[in-house]
Structure 1
Amino acid sequence: MTQDNAPAYGLWSLVVINSLVFIIFAFSFAKPQSGRDWRSFGAFSGFLVALFAEMYGYPLTIYLLSGWLGTKFPGVDFLSHDAGHLLEVMFGWRANPHFGPFHALSAVFIGGGFWLLSAAWSVLYASQRAGTLAKTGAYARVRHPQYVAFVLIMFGFLLQWPTVLTLVMFPILCAMYVRLSLTEERDAAKTFGAEWERYASQTPRFFPKLGASGGDAAPCLTIAPTRRPSREQQGP
């Protein structure tokens, strides 16, 4: 990341291509159907567009922080693409940022989020067709795995390419997903009644219990200790 690196912005075709690739990829897993589904997916899509607009289009964050960045990290060309990986720069990683620790960790979060999104959809789709409550697979660990997946993916992108706009959007989207989850739970309680109450009492909303088997686990069976019959019961 030296002055020899050429500027890598104003590439709006890459903004469009990358946005479409990730949005379509997520859509193939999430498959929104209801109005709530479309709102959650639309917010997630907006996050991706804002991210790639700064990654390849206009580096708003770099310009806003240019004075501080130039003073704190002299000799770094912040108009180069590599320098846009701000966490790698700020923590002293001067080699290729695509092989840096934050970029590697971001790949884990993004890949894990897409995997969870796919796993959750397969269970939800089968339950919707059968008219039953989704409570197996990913839904046996948390009640809203799809929202968890969206947050994991967004957090992964923040580790890879933090921007002022996406940092502001992230907590707002998290709060929106919490509100949507509460609305969905009220609807599920009306539809499934006692079955939902039992499932919700055993399964966390967002954070899985370590070592727990999830909401679809069978109740434990206890065996009462045997008692020896009395002399009268034994007979002669």
Structure 2
Amino acid sequence: MNDSPAYGLWSLVAINSAIFILFAASFFKPQSRQDWRTLGLFSAFVVALFTEMYGFPLTIYLLSGWLAERVPGVDFLSHDAGHLLEILFGWKANPHFGPFHLLSNALIIGGFWLLAKAWPVLYEAQQRGALARTGPYARIRHPQYAAFMLVMLGFLLQWPTLVTLAMFPVLVFTYVRLAQREERQALAEHGDAYRAYMNDVPGWWPRFR
């Protein structure tokens, strides 16, 4: 935990933020004002996350007194100390192999895997003007939004900050509202077929049976 300070790396902030924002935009394909607002919130989450991860550790500065009292002897300006959950729960080894970091990796990888599986199904259905009902859409109705939530939750476990913790519930609420709006559009377009789909397939959490 006595690594040299690892902040002020603004090029990494810019590169990582750009990659995730462009990736999200390629799947959202925003058109309406609400779509752009949703993408803007996600972009703000990503920028805030990587700013504190590589640029300026605002959360650590604000909580420095409390952290130093609770976990004495830790250099909180080292990169490893930014993995606050491992530090606070007493993980003494490399935090990249700690339980929260491993769970974070699983959520992030799982989220991107779900996103990769869902997008081709949705695209093919849109090309035919049909409902997406295969692949992940056979288990939940909103796999793309669920995937983004998993990725964001994974990042929160890996590198929690005060700003992203405050933003996460706002983003979840926004995604749910966007999903509801899209369902109203699907009902208007597909009618009883989509009602039957809603009865058969849960919105966010699959039925394991």
Report TM bin, short chain: over 0.9
- 1:27 is displaced (CA, Å) by 4.3
Amino acid at match of 2:31: S
Match of residue 194, structure 1, among 192, 195, 198: 192
Contact 1:116 1:149 in 2 (8 A): yes
Answer whether contact 1:32 1:41 (CA < 8 A) is retained: no
* Counterpart in the other structure of 1:50: 48
The 2-side partners of 1:133 and 1:21 are apart by 30
* Residue of structure 1 in register with 2:105 after alignment: 107
Structure 2 gap segments, 5+ residues each: none
In structure 1, the partner of 2:206 is 208
What's the CA shift for 1:75? 0.2
Q: Which residue of 2 aligns with 1:79?
A: 77
Q: Name structure 1 gaps, 5 residues minimum.
A: 212-236
Shift of 1:120: 0.9
The structure with the largest alpha-carbon Rg is 1
**Residue in 1 that maps onto 2:129:** 131
Cα distance in 2 between the residues matched to 1:119 and 1:31: 15
Identity of matched residues, %: 62
* Equivalent residue, structure 2, for 1:166: 164
CA contact (8 A) 2:139 2:207 kept: yes
- Of Structure 1 and Structure 2, the greater helix share is in 2
Once superposed, what is the RMSD of the aligned Cα atoms?
Answer: 1.4
2:29 aligned residue:
32
Kindly provide the amino acid, as one letter, of the partner of residue 181 in structure 2: T
Shift of 1:37: 4.5
Contact 1:110 1:157 in 2 (8 A): yes
**What TM-score do the two structures reach when normalised by structure 2?**
0.94
Residue 32 of structure 1 and its aligned partner are, at CA, apart by 1.6
Q: Deviations over 1:170-202 (max 9, x none)?
A: 001001111111111111100000100000011
Paired letter, 2:60: I
Scaled by the length of structure 1, what TM-score is found?
A: 0.84
Say whether the 8 Å CA contact 2:108–2:155 is kept in structure 1: yes
* Alignment pair present for 1:156 and 2:154: yes
Paired residues, what number? 208
Q: Which residue, out of 63, 66, 89, partners 2:61? A: 63
Distance in 2 between the 1:203 and 1:165 partners?
Answer: 34
Partner of 2:141: 143
Deviations 1:44-76 (A, max 9, x none): 222111100000111110011111001000000
Deviation of 1:101 (Å):
1.4
Counterpart in the other structure of 1:96: 94
Query: 1:140-187, CA deviations, whole angstroms, 9 ceiling, x for partnerless residues?
Result: 111111110000000000010000000000001001111111111111
Corresponding residue number in structure 2 for 1:214: none
SS of the equivalent of 2:132 reads coil
Q: Distance in 2 between matches of 1:136 and 1:39?
A: 29
Verify the 8 A CA contact 1:26 1:114 in the aligned structure 2: no
1:153–1:178 distance in 2 versus 1, CA, 3 Å:
same
Name the SS for the 2:73 alignment partner.
Answer: coil
Whether contact under 8 Å (1:141, 1:208) holds in the other structure is: yes
Shift of 1:94: 1.9
- Kept in 1, the 8 Å contact 2:6–2:79? The answer is yes
